[in-house]
Structure formats: C-alpha cells, structure tokens
Structure 1
Amino acid sequence: MKHIFQHIKGDRAIWAIVTVLAIFSFMPVYSASTNLVYVVGNGSTFGYLIKHIVLLIVGFLIIYGTHKIPYRYFSGGSVLFLPIVVLLLIITIAQGTTIGGANASRWIHIPFVGVGFQTSTLAGLVLMVYVARYLAKNKEKEILFKESLFQLWLPVGVILILILPANFSTTAIMFSMILLLTFIGGYPLKYIGYIVGMGVFSLAFFVLVAKAFPDAMPNRINTWQSRIENFSNSDGAENYQVEKAKIAIATGGVAGKGPGKSVQKNFLPQSSSDFIYAIIIEEYGLMGALMVIFIYFLLLFRILITAKKSTTIFATLLVVGVGLPIIFQAMINMAVAVNLFPVTGQTLPLISSGGTSIWMTCFALGMILSVSASKNETEETILDDNPLDILHEAID
C-alpha cells in the first residue's frame, strides 16, 4: 500500500473524496438498476453494477494518467483539440445513436466497448481549458473586444451552437461556466455584458428558426417548453419523473428505508442516472442526502484550496475552470431531484451511472491533481508552449 501511495501525487484529500464518492455509488446504482432489468427488461442488476465498477476503474486510471501529465501541456493541448471537438460534434449530429431513449444527436456509439460517448462533455472540458489559456495569456494585456471575438468567442460560439440543438441544458451550463471563468479571469465586465446580450439574441434567433422550420429539429423546442411549463405549473400538471422523485423523497424520511429498499426506483425512468439523488434520499433519508451534499462541498473546498496554492495564473484558472462545473453539475442534479430546477438531464458526478460523465469528470479531476502536484512552474514555460511541439513530444 505504501508503494502505491508513492506514485500518487497531488492533493490526497481530493483522492480520498473521489474514492468515497465512487464506493458510495455502488449501492445506489445497483439498487436503481432494477428499473432497467425488470421494467425495461434489459440485462441484470449485477451486470449493471459490474459495468459501473469497470467504468469507475477506467475513470481512476484516467485520473492517474492525467495527473502524471505536467499541467502546462493542457494549455497547448486545448488548442489542438478544438478542431477535433468540432469534428466530433458534427459527426454526432450527423450519425448519433439513441442511448436508452435519449436524443439521438447527443451520442456516438463506441464500437466493441458498448458505451455511448456524449461528445458535448468532452467539448465542455476542452473549452474551459482553452478559455483559461486565453485569459492567462492576456492577463497583463489590454483586451480589445474585437480581437477577443475571434480569439476567444468564435471557438466558444461554434461549439455551443453545435451542442444547442440537441442539449440546451448542457449549452446553458457551459455558457454560464465560461462567463463565470471570464469574470474571475479579469475579462472586462462590460464586454461580458455584450456577450450575454449576443447569447440571448442568438438563442432567440435559434428558437424562431426552429419554430419556423419544425421538421429540421423535431420536438426540441417543444421539449424545452414542456419542461419549463411543467416546472412552473402550480396546478399539479407535473412531469412524471419529478412526481415519482418527490414521492421517493417524501417517503425517505430522516433515516431512509435502507439500502436497496427503494420502491420508486421501479417507476422512475432515469433512477440510476438523472434522478439517482431521489433514490439516495429514499433509501438513506435526510442524513444520507446531507452527507452527499457535504462531500461535494468538501470537494469544492479542496478545489479552491488547490487554486489558491497554484503558482501560475493559468493553473489557477485551469483548476477553477474544470473544477467548478463538477460541483455546479452536482448542485443542478440535486436541485432537479427535489424540484427546485426544471429537468435538465444532468447526472450526479461520480455517482450516477454513465461512462462519458464519469470519464470526463475524471479527466477534470486529473488536471486538478496535476496542478496540485506541480511545483515552481512559471507562466512563460506554460503559455509559450507551441501546441505543435506538444504534439511532437507526444508522438516521440
């Protein structure tokens, strides 16, 4: 065991928190998967648990491998990955598959693995690193709005436009996180106001086009509209999933029904992913729900500590940029489960089942641990790296 710890670098508290979340996820995923087995008639509960464990093991390997990479490589790597991400998003729209009934234009099926890959999660991670790079590179310079439109917002806009038709919630979250990062990174506040205005105008234009040509994007605008109406309707016309989630929460009480004893998991369609927090409350009660919230806030605290201790501006922005979305996604997932937010389709990081979400979260955590493991880096060695030089080093 001591030999293993010698190879693990970075914030040990983050390693511990991630391990606790992963181990805790076994029972809720195993319990909630009965819905897929007995209602949908697909696979076995033990099979879903094994698949989830394998995904987590691969995730930990991703964390380990990523945290061994000097974080300065992520700066140039984000530039290299931007065109790749754009290409993947185009392919996803063109030939995406349906995963468990989810919208077909969100996923690419990975052959021989049996896992669907949601390209928007990779795009979000690459965008946050790219924005952190831009802000760090221009920290000591006067930012001109016209120049930033092409250098910063054009790549951001292209990727968000490609994600928007299939996944509005992910687009909105990514846009919000990018705005928050630019604010933290010192991007002029009045320019952020311009970007918000342009974003609202672009969304309104998209909705009008979608309404005018409904065959181009069938059911997407109607889906968004129905979710908002179901959430805001006080007369009881609620979304079926939200209604079952509220029943699960109400019957959980303080101590819960006990592990594996959830009843609503048999009726909640996304019980092992989007609404797993409701199952956790039903089985582990208020105490279990608060414990999950506490663990995520503890992770947030360690992320902020890592950002504060970082020796370069890029490192600080990188940690904030890839770390805060993890916590934000967890908060949204839990808020949806308790009916504080409209249904979004966001999973609970490291607890919900699903390969893409787990792996991209692990990539982000690996980057954070790479920063916390680094010492005596300088801004020049990071931002002066040529992306092509990084590619040549990787090939060699």
Structure 2
Amino acid sequence: MSIPPTQQPGSSARPPAPPARPAPQGSAPSASGPSASGPGAPTQGVQGQAAQGHSAPARRPGGFAPAARAISPGDLERSGAIVSTITKVFQSRVVGQENLRLSLLTALAAGGHVLLESVPGLAKTTAASALASSITGSFARIQCTPDLMPNDIIGTQIFNYGSGTFTTQLGPVHANVVLLDEINRSSAKTQSAMLEAMQERQTSIGGEVYRLPEPFMVLATQNPIEEEGTYVLPEAQMDRFLMKEILTYPRPAEEHEILDRSTAGSLTGPREAVGTVTLEDVRFLQQMVDQVYVDPAVKRYIIDLVFTTRGSGPRPVPNLTQSVRVGASPRGSLALMRVGQAHALLHGRDYVTPDDVRAMRYGVLRHRLVLTFDALASGIKPEQIIDAVFHAVPMP
C-alpha cells in the first residue's frame, strides 16, 4: 500500500496547505489564529463586549456560504472575544503548543472531549488545568490509579444510620471540566464508568439518574511509552473522545522561554480561575457553533472521507483493507462536521469550507482507525492512512 508520509508521523502537526484555491470572500485567514482581530479581554464576562456597526463581509456567489448570514456580525465579534480571553489565559500558563491550544479551543466550542497523549513533561496536565482556569466554572482532577473504583468517579450512596435512609454523594465527575490524569492507569471497569458520562452527559447512582452540569468537558491524558501497570483504552471509549491530540517537543525558542519563565518564577502561572469567561459565555459559544452553516457539498465530502476509511468510498485507496481493520464510525462523520463548524467559528466565519475539515483531520480521525497487525508491524501510522484517504477523495 502506498502511504504518503506525514510531516511528523504520530505528531499533531497540521497537514500542509492544499493547492491554492480561491478563498471565500470574508473568511478570516487561519494563519492568524482564532479571533486575531477580535476585541481585547473583557473585565466582566464577555457579554455585551462585542463592537457594533461592523459591515458584513461580501459573500462569494456559488461558494460554501449561505445566501443569508447564519450568524450576525455582533455574535461573531462576541465569539471572538471569548476565544481571545481563553487564549490569553492559556498562553500565560503554556509555552508554545499552538496545535494543542487550537484543538482544546475547538473541542470546547464543539462541546466535545479530548484525549491528550505524549511522553512525560510536555504540559498535558498543565494545558488541561490552564483551559479550566480560564473558565469560571467547576474543575475536578481525578488521578487515575489501578485501585480507582467507579464509585470514586461517579459517586455513591451512603447509608445514614440516624435517619435510616440513603443519601447520594456525587462524585468528582459532576464538574464542568474534568481532568482524568493518566487515564490508562485505571482498570477497564473504571474506564467504562466514564462511558455514560461522556456520551449521555449523565450518571446513574442507586437507580437514579443525575444530569451532569452544562457545559461538561472531559480532558484525559495518557503516556504512550509506559506499559507496566496500564490498561489499553477500549475502542468504544476512544470513540467517545471528539479529538485525540499528540503533543510534540517544544522548539528551541520555546524551550528557551520555558527556562526564562522558570528563573522568573512565572512558569506555571496562577492555578486558580483567572479568566472572565463565564459558563454562559461557553454555552453561547457552543450555540453559535450549532448555527454555523454546512453546505451539502461539504457534508458529501465528509461522508466520502469516512466511507473511504472503511474501504468503500467513491475513490478507494488501493490495499487500504490490508492496513485498516476498522474504519471510522458514523460518530467520525459527526465529529468531522462538528469540528469543522467550531474551526470555522474560531476563524471568524459562519460557514464551513473543506479546508476546515482538513485542518483538524488528524485529531478527529487518528484514534478512530483500528490498524491491522501487519500495518502496526510495518510501522504505519494512522496519520499516514489519513493522508492517503484525503489524497484520494477530491475536494469539492
């Protein structure tokens, strides 16, 4: 099977830009980062901080934009202000890791969960706590160990001898942002306890159902190089994560800044909530993602991509079935569309282009492909399979 190499196999590097295509008028350049031209951080939440009076950008006839605006300019400005505030807090705690920052912001806006993987010392836990500290919501950290039980996560019922009744004590999963540190150190039984919480946004304790707070986001970390005392995450739970981000080593200039911050005593920054982004702001951001327009041609593009991972696309990759045992499920199609919507909003647009789908392709699909033993033995990475699929399916 001919698999094109990636920039850094197994890394989170974004794919190279596709051949030059006329960009939709009014779209924000992705290289500038989310909301590069948005207003500064507000002081009391982000509501009402958006500048007014901006004219709507021109729409390209026959492009991927709807005939009428899906989101008002004021709402786009407010979304940009929210993203800008979170970005400032994140960058005060984490040096570099721009791919990680974009993935976390995208997942937060999309209302999904993220699995972070890297060798020790690359700021997985710091990045998760930095995102949580930018939001004025509840945060819980669960250190996963082999003896961790499901009740330690979701909660339990305690018998009150005085009243002769049971009282329910909710577990730490009932928080807005939950960090599962070293999730692969917990047993399969404990890992499965998170399935209902991650998918259904609820827990069941003593026959009663308890809704989780909104917004709700799980950030899990794992170390791929240690096997002793670890348990492989089942495919069913892997599929619950909207994205999987693989962290890479910092560049020399970034590592130099880490040393400078360390000597100045400002490496980690404040651990308490320092952002002014409220839970209402996050809910607003997620509602705006719901309104981002997805053209039927983009939906067809997503479907063709996912079907190609299963070996049944319109332009199948030669010998793909020899390397991929299980392709992406319909949840993968939903994730590509949802992440595309969030990526578009973060870049100031109210419509999705194929470039939005391509931009986050590794994070969305790398953990949804189950490779064959021969592919693993040959050193083939999921990113190489993804590149082959995107190369085979033409962009609309």
Answer yes or no: same fold by TM over 0.5: no
User: What's the TM-score, normalizing by structure 2?
Assistant: 0.31
User: What's the TM-score, normalizing by structure 1?
Assistant: 0.31
Higher fraction of strand: 2
Higher fraction of helix: 1
Greater RCO between the two (CA within 8 Å, min separation 6)? 1
